[in-house]
Amino acid sequence: MSRRIALTLGLLVALTAAQASTAQQAGEQQPERPRHRPLASVGDPGQVAATDGRFARTAREEGQWTAFASFAAPGALMHWADGPFEAAPWLAAQANPAEAMAWVPTAVWASCDGTLAVSFGRFRQPDGQVGSYATVWELRGERDYRWTYDMGGADVPQPPPPPPRVPPSDEVIVVPGLGLIDGKVAECPRGGTLPAPPLAIVADDAQEGGASSDDGTLRYRWEHNADGTRRIVVEYVREGRWLTALDFGFTAAGARLGGGQ
């Protein structure tokens, strides 16, 4: 199923993702996720979007890295220009910046059983730079999502600045807009069976990892190549076949590759 989830821009004022800095490369695979009882209904992109929104609000109110640590699943990975690394020990050594980044999701894909989901959106750094990010969420309890993988990067080149806002007056009527989040849910298995997933082709010298939902209807994989290219691919079952929901990444020079469907 597919639906549009409307959120007021008042709730989605901020945009962000993790700043890139030098980090130690680490190719550890994420530990196997414990199996959890799925949501009462099928996957709920709205619940994932709401969690991403709380994540962003916590970053503004309590500090950027405090929020990243609070919302992280065990073994969560951050994937920056130097490669993926385990978030927890790095976050524990960081002081929060004076001003947090801000972000908002624009699309969410969820598995049929709700145990795995991916949000894709836009961020803004305190210095005004903007970019895109992808975050993988896993269900850790009845309705408790935690991020397990995060990658983002600034636009290269940066877009031109937006036009100045027109202050309200008797002659000007300002109508608040709505931010729309595109939410999609994977198709539930028919008769308990799934189509064969597509074969992933990865370079021999690439680091790679990923995971699938408990019901196997959504999966993601990340890769980091020797040439510095980093990438996440999200696939899910729709209409009885596997579709690519997201193929997103960056070159070593920071140019963006692909995006969401």
> What confidence score (pLDDT) does residue 261 get?
64
Residue 171, classified by CB atoms within 10 Å of its CB into exposed (0-12), middle (13-18) or buried (19+), is exposed
Residue 89 in this model has a pLDDT that exceeds 60: yes
Range from 12-21, 120-129, 136-145, 160-169 that averages highest in pLDDT: 120-129
CA neighbor of 210 nearest in space, from 88, 116, 80, 70 = 116
Q: What is the pLDDT of residues 124-152, one digit of tens each?
A: 999 999 999 999 999 998 779 999 999 99
Residue 180 in this model has a pLDDT that exceeds 50: yes
**Hey, what domains does the chain have and what are their CATH numbers?**
2-28+37-158+176-186 (3.10.450.50)
Question: If you compute the radius of gyration of the chain from its CA atoms, what whole number of angstroms results?
Answer: 18
> What confidence score (pLDDT) does residue 260 get?
72
